[in-house]
Structure 1
């Protein structure tokens, strides 16, 4: 009965005219941006963030979340029709989606994409409904030591479980933590690391950092690649009849969708994993369990269904740790968490209790947004494909212009624009040296919260660092953190021991 009353409360929030309008705007913009290679949901959310300041926090979050999961749909369309993944997580869809288009079955591939995405998203929403409140109720008993430990675990997990060098990721996390120290000391009120700039007394703007590191930097990176323009040949009209699968194909879809949804939900709830890892792992799993693995890469329906279900399930499941613990699973969730903070809402264990209308309204909006995407996905395919014809020499400068305008509009400050451009250049340099800037934003957002809980713990214990070993949950979280740090070192050692054992056995 409680679940039904909670859903009724959410429906009252999500089915208002304003909520429905901005949910539609969010998923439409997300699909639009997802269809543009090199832009991605993070840039779109960063640009849209300043526009939400005049909105109710719930409406703002509904729109920004819609951009996030809507981008997965749009990226799949261009992957299937043009072999041009709009987002990294939809690249694996092109392996079988594009061969289906070349063999004259683009309609079927698009139908599978829409159906698998909807099923995967719906499966993960059910998990969010069940697990987020349960995790939050457990976390209500946490004190400052456990809050610090779980945040530290989230940062380390995001660094060690993500793609790329673990050392480089940890360096970026520390850099983000240092950026979070800029501003007034929360205890003494003394300015720290401001270097005489009054604009830094309130800290560095989250919007400036996010827009610079991920918007401007990504655009500069794309512009400097100087790749030759691709000739895009779009498929002709796709009749509705060609989209429906046969009975045999329909039976082949349920297993991959269910497995992909389950795997994507599990991976999405882990810090640092994200939809890209989920979609690739789902594809690999389907290829392994298939009786005919040779058909993958040649237009197998399972090769489209599994990664699409995993992709969208991962995106929705990422809200579990963000809303229940205040720990963002990836960089996009970190921006959404920052957006909630700027609207005066603090995600965490008390969020669901203190803001039930917002939480359950957001949950119901997920259903509404996925349904809108299911309805829009097919009729607007031609429109999104036409978007691909926009020349990059027009598209990229336009995006940078809107980024600068959005940064300026927050405080009507030219200084914020300069900070945005500075972090844009810095982000480009980091990308050139293969330092991914995503952990910077995670450290930047969680840094002040970690400092607050660290200081509170040390004040209560009168400076005794062993306070973090007094409670079992804190000890378990710190132990798991150490395991994640040393795991990259243990793998080579285990490999050498195995090789030595095999050589001695011979």
Structure 2
């Protein structure tokens, strides 16, 4: 019954229009190299200020899963991994294109994507309401513990060194502290600037870290990519034998994506590579992988899409973003005055069930859009970077200025862009900064509230069973990272000794 009312919300003309805008922009952004969902959502976040919460979130969600569809096109047709999760798709997608089966690979990708997304939506329908039954067991102590777990997972499981990920998470926490203290009214880290008394703008931080930083990284890329690939609907219809070959890899990839979707901090890149590695491991003919195996396309793409949908479960139901994109969507909810968490399902049922229904509507729209527009997307890959990124930079400046009609925000974007470019040059991941910024103030608030209720007794985080469980998992995450770091250091020493002996 709730889902049926959700379809009533999602199919309202106003909401349907913004959902369509989201999936269309997401599909376009997914095709363009370097312009990920983070950049697109960051640029369009100012628009949500003037929208009702439901169409605003439907649009942002559409951009997120729409970009997953678009990313596979460049990977398969042009061996161009526009975004990291699709790098593994290049291994077998492009060889299939060279064999004249590029259309088949895209057809399999669309079927796998739709199947995986549908499964992920079903999981979300049944898993999320279960959290309502425990909603009243979550006080400030439990919320602090579970958000601490989200921070640790996001920091330690990000790309590159876990230590660097944790360092960037702490940077995000410090940025989140800037502004006026809610409890005492005391300005913190504002450096005497009145504009910072109302904290650092989420839009400015996101646009700087993911918009300007990407522009600075790509400013010297002058080449034109792409070729005159032409595909028709007939080329994209796989045969029965090819569908049979792809079916079980698609199912296994979907299950892997669903499993990892419920784990905070595990990005889609990790998920797709694990799905590909698993498929190759169990294959009776692993030598085919890398030379045009359909299973090598179906499994990782299914994993990516099921994870994308299931990612919304911890974000919406527990307030724990699974990755940087989810953190940005979480920030958009907070801007709209909506507190994510177990109570969201009951307090904002129209938003929650409308969002779930919009996933199905949006995935059908994507399936219909991609068939006639693939030729257009391929043409867009030929746009030179010297035109593409300056235009994006212009819209970034306009977007952030429009939030408060102040040039101070534009200056913030520039500063964060330069800082982000410096971090990237030093091989530090910038995504954990956004995670720390979004979760930091909520963690601080719930930590102080828990201590206030317990009269300063720190044991309250251990005495309560749910909180103790999450604290225990946090400890295991830290110990696991220390173990893997120690093992890697030991292997390096052994390798150096062998080289010295040889």
How many angstroms does 1:405 deviate by?
0.6
The answer to whether the Cα contact below 8 Å between 1:253 and 1:305 also exists between their aligned partners in 2 is yes
Per-residue CA deviations over 1:372-417 (Å, capped at 9, x if unaligned) read 1111111100010110111100111111111111000001111011
Match of 1:459 among 435, 452, 457: 452
Equivalences for residues 415-430 of structure 1 within 5 A? 415-430=408-423
Structure 2 equivalent of residue 392 of structure 1: 385
**Equivalent position to 1:182, from 163, 172, 178:** 178
> Which residue of structure 1 aligns with residue 151 of structure 2?
155
Structure-2 separation of matches of 1:311 and 1:8: 27
Task: State the 1:227 CA deviation.
Answer: 4.4
> What is aligned with 1:503?
none
State yes or no: 1:208 paired with 2:201.
no
Mapping of residues 435-474 of structure 1, within 5 Å: 435-474=428-467
Q: CA deviation at 1:430?
A: 0.5
Given the alignment, which residue of 224, 229, 246 partners 2:223? 229
Contact kept? 1:257, 1:309, Cα under 8 Å: yes
Shift of 1:240: 2.5
1:133-158 CA distance string (max 9 Å, x none): 21243243111111111110110011
- Report the equivalent of 1:344: 337
1:319 pairs with 2:315? no
Match of 2:482 among 489, 502, 505: 489
Q: CA deviation at 1:230?
A: 4.7
Alignment of 1:3-152 (within 5 A): 5-152=1-148
How far is 1:36 from its partner? 0.5
For these two proteins, the number of residue pairs brought into alignment is: 493
- Residue among 258, 261, 264 paired with 1:271: 264
**C-alpha contact 1:11 1:361 (8 A) present in aligned 2:** yes
CA shift at 1:297, angstroms?
1.1
Aligned to 1:244: 237
| Distance in structure 2 (CA, Å) of the matches to 1:128 and 1:228 | 43
Alpha-carbon RMSD: 1.7
Change (3 A) 1:497 1:180: closer
Query: Which segment drifts farther, 329-338 or 249-258?
Result: 249-258
SS at match of 2:339: coil
Deviation at 1:490, TM superposition (A): 1.7
**Kept after mapping to 1: 8 A contact 2:222/2:384:** no
Distance, in Å, in 1 between the alignment partners of 2:481 and 2:91 is 30
Q: Distance in 2 between matches of 1:401 and 1:269?
A: 37
CA spacing shift, 1:498–1:49, aligned 2, 3 Å: closer
1:504 corresponding residue in structure 2: none
Partner SS state of residue 390, structure 1: coil
Whether 1:401 aligns to 2:397 is: no
Q: Deviations over 1:124-180 (max 9, x none)?
A: 111111111212432431111111111101100111222211111111111111111
1:110–1:378 CA contact under 8 A, matched in 2: no
Determine if contact 1:39/1:219 at 8 Å carries over to the other structure. no
**1:228 Cα deviation after fit:** 5.8
1:246-395 matches, cutoff 5 A: 246-395=239-388
